[in-house]
Amino acid sequence: MSTINYSEKIPNNVNLGEDRTLQRALEGWQPNFINWWDDVGPEGSTNHDVYLRTAVSVDPQGWAQFGHVKMRDYRWGIFLNPGDANREVHFGDHKGEKVWQDVPGEHRANLRRIIVTQGDTEPASVEQQRHLGLTAPSMYDLRNLFQINVEEGRHLWAMVYLLQKHFGRDGREEADALLQRTSGDANNPRILGAFNEKTPDWLAFFMFTYFTDRDGKFQLAALAESAFDPLARTTKFMLTEEAHHMFVGESGVSRVIARTAQVMNELKTDDAQKIRAAGCIDLGTIQRYLNFHYSVTIDLFGADQSSNAAIFYSSGLKGRYEEGKRDDDHVLKGQTYKVLEVRDGQLVEKDVPMLNALNEVLRDDFIKDSVSGVGRWNKVLEKAGIPTRLVVPHKAFNRQIGALAGIKMSPEGRVVSEVEWAAKRDEWLPSSEDFAFVASLMGRVIEPGKFAGWIAPPVMGINRQPVDFEYVRFG
């Protein structure tokens, strides 16, 4: 068992105490982290005792320990999955060589960039969700929000550890900069666009955790294949925590749909206005939120053709999703992949070198995974006897990055004129009126076992606790 040392200021299972310089550097960064948490962490939550999951070791029995903790006392630690002394690089040009425990000089800049980008997303979502605690639809949901927040904070730590341990002065500077950028800040925004978008309400939060944290799953899974072993081990462990975030999103949207379907059946109507009047979110609004979060998230995978992606793969820095389960040569030279482009007002596929299309490969894996989850939401409608189905929009819809950026496209994948786009935009993406309506539903419900009228209760509690368990004790 790989136990985590909780007697140290920074809990860890990486023998931090044996590296005094690193320990001092991290302990110097820690007060700034706490300041950041106090400034932009969950609003108004300082005295709550929250039923949080904390890792005491990285094995199955140890990493999901539950108890009431004040979030400021949560032990943001540095946890790496156990290593394998014989692990080999299993893709790219270094295939078959021993994995690296230190950063090879020639890959230093690229690895730093990958780690900084990943690290930047983690606190960003905490900042985006800062105000949501004040409008939680239930105590159960409030707890889930806080769990996500502390874990995103820990994931930031995970990346900061790598930066400070392996990248010297540059790493320390990058780690500091992570705390200086802020989501949505006009002067010093987060690195990736989606992390500067507002998460204005709980439907947006559920969509974000469904789609954007799923992006996290695919990015982390690709990094978990890395030849740089500390990165692989760190991200493997992060993946176990990320699962809860996706669960909050998937089950959250599913519960919204279930409640809407219930009210539709009770009122025997599919009229959006009547459903809204009954205090529920109509399926059209849910579809528009879905369109927005899906399209913003698939931009996170980067340009459809990218020489960086090829370099990252060939040099062993970042693999594909489930690299080990694929049965090709894991080098990919001379292979091709189909990407989309617009030619003569029509979408057409073209073959590009596979190595350059690896962002697209990862995006397509994500799309497949997302679509099956949307299928599970549709099962809720199907069971309730509602004929409407939710769909993910076309891959080219509302894209800001890559060859499809700026092309006006309907959700079904038809290239449209600027005029048509302007006329239909509010049918396809949430309008200010949609946001205002959803915001109007966001009242705080925090009595144990009670739920806001626009969302159904979950099928079971966290850690098999009852749904009316006191997940948050308000101090």
Partner 1 sequence: MDMVVEAGIIKQHLIDPEICIRCNTCEATCPVNAITHDDNNYVVRADVCNGCMACISPCPTGSIDNWRTMPLVRAYTIEEQLTWEELPAELSPEELEAAGVSGASAEAAEAPAQTQAQAAAEATEPVFNSAQYGASVPPWSAAHAYTNLFPPKTPTTATVVGNFNCTEAGFDSETHHIVLDFGVVPFPVLEGQSIGIVPPGVDAIGKRHHARQYSVASPRNGERPGYNNVSLTVKRVTEDHEGDPVRGVCSNYVCDLKVGDTVQVVGPFGSSFLMPNHPKSHIVMICTGTGSAPMRAMTEWRRRLRKSGKFEGGKLMLFFGARTQQELPYFGPLQSLPKDFIDINFAFSRTAGQPKRYVQDLMRERAADLAALLKDGASHFYVCGLKSMEEGVVLALCDVAKEAGLDWDTVGAALKREGRLHLETY
**402 Ramachandran zone, left/alpha/beta (phi>0; psi -120 to 50):** left
Q: Nearest distance from residue 178's CB to partner 1, in Å?
A: 26
CA distances (Å), origin 305, targets 40, 204, 302, 398, 469: 36, 30, 8, 18, 49
**Which listed residue (463, 466, 473, 474) binds partner 1 by CB under 8 A?**
463
368 near partner 1, rule: CB under 8 A: yes
Residues 124-183, interacting with partner 1 (CB under 8 A): none
Q: Nearest distance from residue 321's CB to partner 1, in Å?
A: 10
C-beta of 22 vs 239, nearer to partner 1: 239
Stretch that binds partner 1, among 60-68, 89-97, 111-119, 187-195 (CB under 8 A): 60-68
Number of chain residues interacting with partner 1 (CB under 8 A): 29
Q: Nearest distance from residue 136's CB to partner 1, in Å?
A: 19
C-beta of 31 vs 60, nearer to partner 1: 60
Q: List Cβ<8 Å contacts ≥24 apart for 2-5.
A: 2/57, 2/58, 2/59, 2/81, 2/82, 3/56, 3/57, 3/62, 4/55, 4/56, 4/57, 4/58, 4/62, 4/77, 4/79
Q: Nearest distance from residue 364's CB to partner 1, in Å?
A: 12
Q: What would the two tokens of residue 385 be? A: 């006897």
C-beta of 242 vs 434, nearer to partner 1: 242
Instruction: Find residue 88's DSSP bridge partners.
Output: 98
**Which listed residue (400, 459, 473, 474) binds partner 1 by CB under 8 A?**
459
Q: Residues 235-274: x/- map of binding to partner 1 (CB under 8 A)?
A: -x--xx-xxx-xx--xx-----------------------
C-beta of 236 vs 293, nearer to partner 1: 236
C-beta of 59 vs 271, nearer to partner 1: 59
Stretch that binds partner 1, among 43-51, 154-162, 442-450, 456-464 (CB under 8 A): 456-464
CA atoms within 13 A on the CB side of 223: 26
C-beta of 246 vs 381, nearer to partner 1: 246
Single-letter amino acid code for the residue at 73: D
64 near partner 1, rule: CB under 8 A: yes
**Which listed residue (37, 51, 63, 471) binds partner 1 by CB under 8 A?**
63
Stretch that binds partner 1, among 105-113, 348-356, 373-381, 403-411 (CB under 8 A): 373-381
C-beta of 41 vs 252, nearer to partner 1: 252
Stretch that binds partner 1, among 161-169, 259-267, 281-289, 455-463 (CB under 8 A): 455-463
Those residues whose C-beta lies under 8 Å from the C-beta of residue 110, and which sit 6 or more positions away, are 308, 311, 312, 315, 317
Stretch that binds partner 1, among 55-63, 160-168, 264-272, 345-353 (CB under 8 A): 55-63
Q: Nearest distance from residue 322's CB to partner 1, in Å?
A: 9
C-beta of 63 vs 301, nearer to partner 1: 63
15 near partner 1, rule: CB under 8 A: no
Q: Nearest distance from residue 90's CB to partner 1, in Å?
A: 17
**165 Ramachandran zone, left/alpha/beta (phi>0; psi -120 to 50):** alpha
Name the CA dihedral angle for 113, 116, 117, 120, rounded to a multiple of 10 degrees: -160
CA distance 397 to 291: 8
324 near partner 1, rule: CB under 8 A: no
CA distance 187 to 294: 26
CA distance 416 to 419: 8
Stretch that binds partner 1, among 33-41, 119-127, 414-422, 459-467 (CB under 8 A): 459-467
C-beta of 229 vs 242, nearer to partner 1: 242
405 near partner 1, rule: CB under 8 A: no
C-beta of 375 vs 449, nearer to partner 1: 375
Where does this chain bind partner 1 (CB under 8 A)?
Answer: 1, 59-65, 217, 236, 239-240, 242-244, 246-247, 250-251, 368-369, 372-373, 376, 379, 459-460, 463-464
